[in-house]
Structure 1
Amino acid sequence: MIFLFSLTNFLQPSINNVLAFMKDAPVIVVVMAFFIAWIGCWLPIALILLRLLHWQPIKPLQPEQKLPLIVSLYLLAPLIVWGVILLTNSSFSNYGFAPNFAILGSLALGFGLGVLTIAISYTCQFWLGWCDFKKINIKQIASILPSILLIALLVGGIEELVFRGFLFTELERDYPVWVAAVISSIIFAVLHLVWEQQETIPQLPGLWLLGMMLVLARICDRHNLGIAWGLHSALVFTIATIDTAQLVTYTGKVSEWWTGKNKKPLAGVAGIVCVLGISLILGLFSSYFSI
């Protein structure tokens, strides 16, 4: 006990300096410090995982090697946000993540809206003859749905906490809402290049637009993250299910820029129209989404 008391007294000046820095520093500096701390804490874990996974630097990461790295990075994010909250005497509620039943209702609403809109998008593509539905692969869905749903909720929740929660909220302290939305969405899109460069570059405009739509979802949900979390998870869930079960094949009737470059919906007109459609629904019925 005496040791802990002495250690606290020894560290108190450093803690006070950090608090003063967080309070007075420009928001861009605070944001950069957050991401540096996140990556800095993750790198030792990543190095250990890469060694355990027998990764060779001259070879690209395989999917089975990439997944543990992504999961470890994402699981670390809430701890870094929690550290910021402790330093700034803030709370998760300030970042839009209120642990109550209301957020579960918003999550379900956003998830349902996302799945429905994506289903309509693919139905239109089937009707236009842009793609075919492989009914024979439906049997695979039951066995993969639980794990895909869990991953989708994890990815959607953590990315919303970081980008529409921490990042957007901090930027909004110094900038107008629209500027904070634009900057946070640019960072959201660009950071997707970390894992896949060749496939992500054509998606950058779509990812930026998705980020803007998710900011709108947070605003419509009284600055809570429930609807944004649901929409984001729905996108991950549906696309991952379609890809894993190989439910859709493209006919080549139109250019892949219509259906999605490299089979990525956000890299095509259809995916962008889907995001714009959800944005329109959020704008027209924003009063009904505020639950």
Structure 2
Amino acid sequence: MFFLFILITFFEPSVNALLAFMENAPLLVVVMAFFIFWIVCWLPIATISAILLNWQPPKPLQPEQKMPLLASLYLLAPLILWGVSWLTNKSFLDYGFVGNLSTFGSLALGFSLGVASLAIVFSGQLALGWCSFEKTNFKLLLPILLQIFLIALLVGGIEELVFRGFLFTELAQDYPIWAAAAISSLIFALLHLVWEQRETAPQLPGLWLMGMVLVLARFAANGNLGLAWGLHAGWVWAIATLDTAELITYTGKASDWFTGKNKKPLAGLAGIICVLGTGMIIWFFSRYF
């Protein structure tokens, strides 16, 4: 305890100076500090994980290798964000992360809306003969539903806290709301290239539009991230479940421009319609959220 007291006393002037700087720091410094700290802190964990998983870049990541790396990156984000928010004298409340019953209600509503919107889009494609439903794979669903649900909640929650919470809030201090939404959505889309460039590139317009709709969802919920979190998690859960259980097979009767290149809905017109339609629903019914 005495040694700790000496350390605190010794570094107190530097800590106070850092606090004073970060509290009044330009927007770009705060945003860059978060992303740099996030990556720097994650790199040692990623290196050790890569060795244990026997992954040697530039080999592509297999799904069983990607998941531990993704989990470690996402679980680290709230800790880094807490540190940056402490330095800037803010809290998660400022970023729309509120722990109350209203948030959980919005989360459930958003999740239901996300799943329903994709169900409508895929039902339309099934009716048009663009894809077929593999009923024989239905038995694969039960063992994976809970696992994918928890992953979807984690991914949706962390990405909303970082992009629609922290990044959008910081940008909105110096830019008009529409510009802050557009820039944060662009960064959100581009950072998806880190994992898979070939499959992600055609999805960039769809990912950007998805980011804009999720910003709208935050506004509809009076700044609360619950609705955006649920919507994001619902989309991730539905797509991941369909892909993992291989429930959908495309028939080739429609162009990839409609169904999505590389079997990714956001890389096609169907996914764009799904996101736009969801945005319109949120816009028209925002008074009830």
SS in 2 for 1:162: helix
1:134-184 alpha-carbon deviations (Å, 9 max, x no partner) = 112112111110101000001000000110011111111111111110110
Look up the match of 2:281.
281
1:233 corresponds to 2:233: yes
Gap runs ≥5 in structure 2: none
State the match for 2:49 in structure 1: 49
SS in 2 for 1:249: strand
Match of 2:92 in 1: 92
Q: Within 5 Å, which residues of 2 pair with 1:213-252?
A: 213-252=213-252
- Please, which moves more after superposition, 163-172 or 58-67? 58-67
Q: Give the structure 1 partner of residue 120 of structure 2.
A: 120
State whether residues 24 and 88 of structure 2, in contact with CA within 8 Å, keep that contact through their aligned partners in structure 1: no
CA-atom RMSD in angstroms: 1.1
Alignment of 1:47-196 (within 5 A): 47-196=47-196
Q: For each residue in 1:169-218, what CA deviation from the matched residue of structure 2 results, as whole angstroms up to 9, or x when unmatched?
A: 11111111111101100000000000000000000000000000000000
Shift of 1:114: 0.8
Change (3 A) 1:273 1:58: closer
- Amino acid of the structure 2 residue aligned with 1:237: W
Report runs of 4+ in structure 1 exceeding 3 Å deviation: none
Deviation at 1:17, TM superposition (A): 2.4
- Helix, strand or coil for the counterpart of 1:200? helix
TM-score by length of 1: 0.97
SS in 1 for 2:198: coil
SS of residue matched to 1:199: helix
| Aligned residue identity for 1:5 | F
Q: Distance in 2 between matches of 1:121 and 1:261?
A: 16
Aligned counterparts of 2:57 and 2:228: Cα–Cα separation in 1:
37
Secondary structure of the corresponding residue to residue 197 of structure 2: coil
Is 1:253 the counterpart of 2:223? The answer is no
Amino acid at match of 2:102: A
What letter matches 2:279 in structure 1? S
Whole-angstrom distance in 2 between the partners of 1:71 and 1:58: 20
- Alpha-carbon distance between aligned partners in 1 of 2:61 and 2:251, rounded to the nearest angstrom: 30
Matched to 2:5, the amino acid is F
Displacement of 1:58 after TM fit? 4.9
1:14 Cα shift? 1.9
The runs of 5 or more residues in structure 1 that have no matched partner are none
Task: Describe the superposition over 1:67-108 as per-residue Cα deviations: whole angstroms up to 9, x where unpaired.
Answer: 111110000001011112222232111111111111100000
Range moving further from structure 2, 106-115 or 63-72:
63-72
Report the Cα distance in structure 2 between the residues aligned to 1:118 and 1:228, rounded to whole angstroms: 16
Cα displacement (A) at 1:283: 0.6
The residue type equivalent to 1:134 in the other structure is E
For residues 51 and 268 of structure 1, the distance between their equivalents in structure 2, rounded to whole angstroms, comes to 37
Name the residue aligned to 1:16.
16
Is 252-261 or 16-25 further displaced after alignment?
16-25
Q: Distance in 1 between the 2:118 and 2:88 partners?
A: 39
Q: 1:21 Cα deviation (Å)?
A: 2.4
- Deviation of residue 22 (structure 1)? 1.6
Tell me, in whole angstroms, the C-alpha distance in 1 between the residues paired with 2:198 and 2:191.
Answer: 13
- Note the C-alpha offset of 1:239: 0.3
CA distance in 2, matches of 1:203, 1:279: 18
SS of alignment partner, residue 167 of structure 1 = helix
Distance 1:19 1:212 in 2: 32
Give TM-score scaled by structure 2 length.
Answer: 0.97
Aligned length: 289
Deviations 1:8-53 (A, max 9, x none): 1222222122222222222122101110000000001111111111
Identity %: 67
Q: Which amino acid aligns with 1:3?
A: F
Whole-Å Cα distance in 1 between the matches of residues 170 and 57 of structure 2?
37
Three-state SS of the structure 2 residue aligned to 1:151 is helix
